[in-house]
Structure 1
Amino acid sequence: MLNGMIQGEAVATKEIMIQPNVPRFVRMGDKSQITARIFNTGTETVKGTARMELIDPETDKTVYKEAKQVTIDAGGTSGVTFGYSPSVGHTLLICRISVSGKDFSDGEQHYLPVLPDRERVTVTVPFTQNGPGVKTIDISKLIPVKDGQTKLTVEYTDNPAWMMVQALPVIASPNAENAIDRMAAVYANTVAASIMGGSPKIKAAIARWNMESGSETSMMSAMKKNGELRDIVLAETPWVADADNEDEQKRQIADLLDGAQIESRTVSTVRKLIDTQNSDGSWGWCPGMRGNPYVTVTTVQMYARMKAMTGNEAGCGAMMDKAFKYMDGEIVRLVSDMKKAESNGVEQSFPGMMPLQYLYSMAISDRKPSNAARSACDYLIALLKKDIASQSIYAKALTAIILARHGETAKSREYVRSLKEYTVYNEETGRYYDTRRASYSWCDYKIPAQVAAIEAIKAVTPADGKTIGEMRRWLLQQKRTQAWDTPINSVNAVYAFLFDNTNALSAGTETVLAIDGKRLETPGATAGLGYVKTAVTNPRGTELTATKTSEGTSWGAVYVQYMQKTPEVSATGSGIKVKREIIPSGTDGKKTVKELSVGDRVTVRITVEASRDFDFVQITDRRAACMEPVNRLSGYRNGAYISPKDNSTNYYIDMLPKGTWVIEDVYYIDRAGTYETGTCAAACVYAPEYRATEKSQTVNVK
């Protein structure tokens, strides 16, 4: 059989070719320049006419045209520039650029979007009411535009404490086949079911939520509500799955009404835990692995908390007896090593979280250490009593509980006093920790430290209801802006809020919303939450009032939406602040956005200041038509998912902790003219009442 190969190359070319550089878009009011390069591949100099036509695709009529004479040297390239300032009445044009002369012609056409010189502005005012009172908001200051249509939306939640009930996790099956995840499923389901079983009103409210109908229900993810009050479409964000997961979590709350189903799941999971426990009472990270004291003590701690909270062992008693015995041996070995080091002159301090978790688990489950471990425990407790200065808030809270259970009343009160001294107070958000000693978790912020502190204060100074109430208020405010998708910490937070506090779920008198004294008509409030939302077009009035007569925390938000010319939009911020700087690269600050040149690189620096911890924050940075992103690919970079679009770049941040954060991106300046950037906006998608806008800038390019 004969075969062969022929390799060749074909090039399709014309002697005269034109290559336009059409912008991705133009904005009304811009003084744009549209350029093209003309190539002469022939051996003779040619002359011709370059033309640009802008055509309305709906009518096929030419709305603008310009022609210029050009000369292109043999084998050379020539450039041609056309000017264009968009006019009112066109949102999309066909940009046709051609060159023609004796015996030659070439051309291309592209669609050219024309953006309006006006933007929809959303100004928000979130507010909180703690106890009876009247909240007054001057809505006249929120509407700088006197002509055109204005929409005022007011939403109000009379009793957001019910959001805690909606946060109850229901784990149908463990996330992974390891001891910690299996015990987490038992723990979360048992505690959640206990909370449910202790309050008939919770059962009744969940049953009513399941019967709700309409476009927005109580069982819907917060990210799927209020779509008309956001600048985004949820389907275009990376958070569709997160919203679906929250939907599913809320729907599964109804499973807690089925005690038999929860019991069946728990028994099955406990059986797997028993089967994978090693003969010495330990668990490894995964079945078949060597026993690990850190895995074992974490599993033991969840069991101890579950039993202390609910009085229910969930069939784990015998298994945990073996686990505690294993931990006794580990503690004896640890203390033996410490004492040897101490005898060699090495000063000892408390050795970390594992023995602290062990002592805490023993304390809250009222267990006594084995005879062999008793002296080791005494040694560790002696170290705890003198180690107050170096401990984190979380460790201090556990220590206070341990010392209280061992009769060290004065010392435990000293620890609790220290816990309180580290707190800060804000009337709206309550009492919380704004210190590095309150350990921060990438997935739970400072919630575990807050929950542990509440537990310690309740255990040692139960009469201090004021501090406990203020700290619970902070937990509730965190749920306002966070999804809470970690089951263990979610159920701990819900328990810390609701234990001995179910009166927070009691319905009070409905808050009255009014504009200039005239009551707003609102639809029926949702069960439990008392949530209402109403909208008014072109409101007549200057003051919105919310008159609250009930105890507890309520909150709401005012949204004002209107169209305004882009250069006139002012900077605003509620809970979030955003600042944008356009910095020319390599000029040592000698250039500004008023004196750029084609080919320059600029860095856009966006600084976001968050007043609290937020989940799901989107930043939309609109840009000038002369700016082309250096990195055009979407992807995760520098802690955010970055998605460049034709006229903006979107940044999606899963978790934005309290503080100041900086994001930077680099752009080329690819054409001369005068352009508006448009605004830059940052908003919490989970709680859209928290948002900020940075005003537009004018960019001049020579």
Structure 2
Amino acid sequence: LMVRPNPPRFLREGDVLEFTTRVLNTGKTDRTGKVKLSLKNANTEELVNKLLGNDSPEISFTIPAGESRSFSWRLAVPDRAPTLLYQVTASADDQADGEENYLPVLSRRILVTESLPLPIRNKGTKKFQFEKLLTANESNTLEHQSLTVQVASNPAWYAVLALPYLMEYPHECAEQQFNRLYANSLAAHIANSDPKIRRVFDLWKGTDALDSPLEKNEELKSLLLLETPWVSEAKNESQARRNLGILFDNNRLNTEINRLLDQLNKSQNPDGGWSWMPGGRSNDYITLYITTGFGRLRHLGVKNVNTNLAIKALTRLDNWIQKRYNQIEKRKQLDTNNLSTTVSLYLYCRSFYLKDKPIAAGNKKAFDYFVEQGKKYWLKLGNRQSKAHIAIALHRLADKQTPGDIVKSILEHSVTNEELGMYWRDTEYSWWWYRAPIETQAMMIEMFNEISDNKEAVRECQIWLIKQKQTQAWKTTKATADAVYSILLGGDNLLASTKLVDVSLGSSKVKPENVEAGTGFYQQKFNPSEIKSELGSVEMTKHDPGVAWGSLHWQYLEDMSKVTPHTATPLRLSKEIYIRENEKTGKVLKPIDRDLKPGDELLVRLILRTDRDMEFVHLKDQRGSGTEPVNVLSRYKYQDGLAYYESTRDASSHFFIDYLPKGNYIFEYPVKIFHRGRYQTGIANIQSMYAPEFNSHSASQWLEVK
């Protein structure tokens, strides 16, 4: 005689579920006996059969030889039910078998975190309504846990916090050597531009201002950092920020700048070019990148920029463009479009040095040819970064018409949003350097600043960049370098503001305490007894131009079946469940329009929408107690251009997304129904671990299995 229980992985308060077991008669004669389900409190071992409605724990059976029978007990899980210890025993004559194990009971009241982002721009007052908090009194089961308001009065400083990443990049390729030089030169420029800035860095030492956003606000996040794949990223970013004090040490800066210049000098090939890794052949793009970088440093007003290495490289670059021209002439294709992204970068690079080293007579024909190509074919370039390169180069070459046309064309395709500033819908995550979104936005700022002196467009574009830092870590040195470069462009010192943003919740004004230097970050937490619905009316006042942001985080306990979808942030998440049925044409998905039964396969579909790029995003979907996941192996997956790690656990499925570009996404996974009953599917929730104010969740729904 053998007993094989089929318990659920867990139960949830409010569930009604059939606990099933199979009894096998492996003998050669029929057996008559009894099978019994006993439920005990796992802590006290006290019997709790009646508490769960198990009024008839014993069932009689007669099983023929070599056959098996299934038996079930219908359980109703009350509120505050303890963790259970179940015992299933079967006995017949002198034969008996049994199994004992634990069965967790999850609360139907779940901790819900909902947030309201509070973006504000320029001088003035803005009002926000946290609708769900304002109507919280309508639920008699909702229990407040905490309310936290946070404000960053001058978030432009978060871009400066990214500088140490540049300084520390470990590889010895020429591009990274130059980026370290770029970061050190920028650091010296920033530190010396305003004594107040230097004081801010001194005040940051030893404070949590230097913690990675991944390590902050653990209590507001749906998952501990230790449970995510991003522990090392958080530690690396925090360590980089802590090195800010070292970065801005004057003696170290001068020594490091001289050392890096010496390294670049040694790695420069005799023809003036640089290879990617030391000892290799000269690489046109790397040479262009470094030479352009020297020009940009000088253009930004960084003092004592040694451009000798860059000027030496110009001969190599001019010969390269001549060689390209000769090949086109040889193929008799001079009348066709030969403008490329690299040629555009060359013209932009060369425009920094027209006075240092005019175009040699032998290269003039080729240079003029590509200048004309830029005037004629700029519309054919498939990306904005290259168009901006052409516009700035032609502007510096005294073209009065084309640069204005390019600026006008690019502006016509832009989108301006009060919160996000100016951006373009063509922004995409791409491996091609000329499509990189942060670097492209930096070029837009430089173009508007230099060609049209459009201060408004410059400010709008800078706001988009700073807003990107809210949800991303800027992991590439090039993105960080270009972002800091463009935030410092434009005349307005975005780092100079010291005025705090004022916040009022309802009739109570938030009093800033423990204000972080530079960023002007402060927060206030309200205890459960202090939380009133009226605190959902928020008023923010900014006293000077620029961008600032805040957030209101509300945590509460609520019956899962009463939780409604949260859509007040740029992340939107919904959950749909379909039944998968076999038909002649194959498997088809249908809405649940019939009674469900054990063995049915359901497809859980999570629909995610985001209006901005985000990094380090965690999506969690709870499961019903009577269902079992089909995908039990954790693994990396790639679909619809999105890479993520899927991890299956007892009560939920988790999706860890390193990089989430703006757009719409669908996640699907199958579950099998194992138990009859009536139980909740659970909610799905998503949160940016980098900026926890961006979160969303779906509602839960009942599954009825007969």
Instruction: Settle same-fold status: TM greater than 0.5.
Output: yes
More moved, 603-612 vs 493-502: 493-502
* Correspondence for 2:197: 202
C-alpha contact (below 8 Å) 1:422/1:435 kept by paired residues: no
Note the 1:74-85 alignment, pairs <5 A. 74-85=65-76
Note the 1:295-444 alignment, pairs <5 A. 295-311=286-302, 317-342=307-332, 347-366=335-354, 367-391=357-381, 392-435=383-426, 440=430
Paired letter, 2:602: V
1:621 aligns with 2:616: no
Q: Deviation string for 1:156-205 (max 9, x for gaps)?
A: 12222222222223445543232222222222222233223222221111
More moved, 63-72 vs 509-518: 509-518
C-alpha contact (below 8 Å) 2:345/2:386 kept by paired residues: no
Shift of 1:442: 8.8
- Look up the SS of the partner of 1:49 in the other structure: strand
Aligned with residue 229 of structure 1, among 207, 217, 220: 220
* Correspondence for 1:12: none
C-alpha contact (below 8 Å) 1:133/1:549 kept by paired residues: yes
1:497 aligns with 2:487: yes
* Correspondence for 1:280: 271
1:682 aligns with 2:677: no
- Counterpart Cα distance in 2 of 1:684 and 1:207: 30
* Correspondence for 1:28: 13
Unaligned runs of 5+ in 1: 1-15
C-alpha contact (below 8 Å) 1:362/1:368 kept by paired residues: no
Note the 1:522-541 alignment, pairs <5 A. 522-536=512-526, 537=528, 538-540=530-532
Note the 1:114-153 alignment, pairs <5 A. 114-139=105-130, 141-146=132-137, 147=140, 149-150=143-144, 151-153=146-148
Paired letter, 2:437: K
Paired letter, 2:647: S
Aligned with residue 105 of structure 1, among 96, 106, 121: 96
Shift of 1:469: 1.2
C-alpha contact (below 8 Å) 1:594/1:700 kept by paired residues: no
- Counterpart Cα distance in 1 of 2:280 and 2:510: 64
More moved, 482-491 vs 102-111: 482-491
- Counterpart Cα distance in 1 of 2:79 and 2:558: 15
* Correspondence for 2:671: 667
C-alpha contact (below 8 Å) 1:439/1:449 kept by paired residues: no
C-alpha contact (below 8 Å) 1:673/1:701 kept by paired residues: yes
- Look up the SS of the partner of 2:598 in the other structure: coil
Paired letter, 1:608: L
More moved, 122-131 vs 280-289: 280-289
* Correspondence for 1:3: none
* Correspondence for 2:585: none
Identify if the C-alpha distance between structure 1 residues 131 and 285 changes in structure 2 by more than 3 Å, giving closer, same or farther.
Answer: closer
Identify if the C-alpha distance between structure 1 residues 504 and 312 changes in structure 2 by more than 3 Å, giving closer, same or farther.
Answer: closer
Note the 1:502-513 alignment, pairs <5 A. 503-513=493-503
* Correspondence for 1:294: 285
- Look up the SS of the partner of 1:63 in the other structure: coil
Normalising by structure 1, report the TM-score. 0.91
* Correspondence for 1:648: 652
- Counterpart Cα distance in 2 of 1:445 and 1:180: 16
* Correspondence for 1:557: 551
C-alpha contact (below 8 Å) 2:438/2:482 kept by paired residues: no
C-alpha contact (below 8 Å) 1:307/1:365 kept by paired residues: no
Q: Deviation string for 1:621-679 (max 9, x for gaps)?
A: 11111222222122211211111111111111111111111111122222222210111
More moved, 673-682 vs 544-553: 544-553
Shift of 1:377: 0.8
More moved, 427-436 vs 605-614: 427-436
C-alpha contact (below 8 Å) 1:191/1:309 kept by paired residues: no
- Counterpart Cα distance in 1 of 2:345 and 2:422: 26
Paired letter, 2:279: G
More moved, 178-187 vs 305-314: 305-314
Paired letter, 1:264: T
* Correspondence for 1:191: 186
Q: Deviation string for 1:130-179 (max 9, x for gaps)?
A: 12333333446425443554232211122222222222234455432322
Shift of 1:270: 3.5
Paired letter, 2:615: D
- Counterpart Cα distance in 2 of 1:450 and 1:193: 24
- Counterpart Cα distance in 1 of 2:429 and 2:60: 70
Aligned with residue 254 of structure 2, among 263, 267, 284: 263
* Correspondence for 1:658: 662
Paired letter, 1:359: L
Question: How many percent identity over aligned positions?
Answer: 29
Count of residue pairs brought into register by the alignment: 678
Shift of 1:294: 2.8
* Correspondence for 1:691: 695
* Correspondence for 1:6: none
C-alpha contact (below 8 Å) 2:169/2:477 kept by paired residues: no
C-alpha contact (below 8 Å) 2:147/2:531 kept by paired residues: yes
1:454 aligns with 2:445: yes
C-alpha contact (below 8 Å) 1:594/1:699 kept by paired residues: no
Paired letter, 1:206: F
Identify if the C-alpha distance between structure 1 residues 326 and 388 changes in structure 2 by more than 3 Å, giving closer, same or farther.
Answer: closer
- Counterpart Cα distance in 2 of 1:666 and 1:606: 12
Q: Deviation string for 1:404-430 (max 9, x for gaps)?
A: 111112211111122211211111111
C-alpha contact (below 8 Å) 1:634/1:642 kept by paired residues: yes
- Counterpart Cα distance in 2 of 1:555 and 1:579: 26
- Look up the SS of the partner of 2:532 in the other structure: coil
Q: Deviation string for 1:215-247 (max 9, x for gaps)?
A: xx2111112222211211111011111111221
- Counterpart Cα distance in 2 of 1:435 and 1:554: 26
- Counterpart Cα distance in 2 of 1:271 and 1:551: 42
More moved, 231-240 vs 275-284: 275-284
- Look up the SS of the partner of 2:164 in the other structure: coil
- Counterpart Cα distance in 2 of 1:442 and 1:79: 61
- Counterpart Cα distance in 1 of 2:86 and 2:472: 46
Aligned with residue 234 of structure 2, among 227, 243, 260: 243
Normalising by structure 2, report the TM-score. 0.91
- Look up the SS of the partner of 1:383 in the other structure: helix
Shift of 1:445: 5.8
Note the 1:202-221 alignment, pairs <5 A. 202-212=197-207, 217-221=208-212
Identify if the C-alpha distance between structure 1 residues 300 and 257 changes in structure 2 by more than 3 Å, giving closer, same or farther.
Answer: same
More moved, 605-614 vs 280-289: 280-289
Identify if the C-alpha distance between structure 1 residues 248 and 74 changes in structure 2 by more than 3 Å, giving closer, same or farther.
Answer: same
More moved, 20-29 vs 502-511: 502-511
Shift of 1:119: 1.3
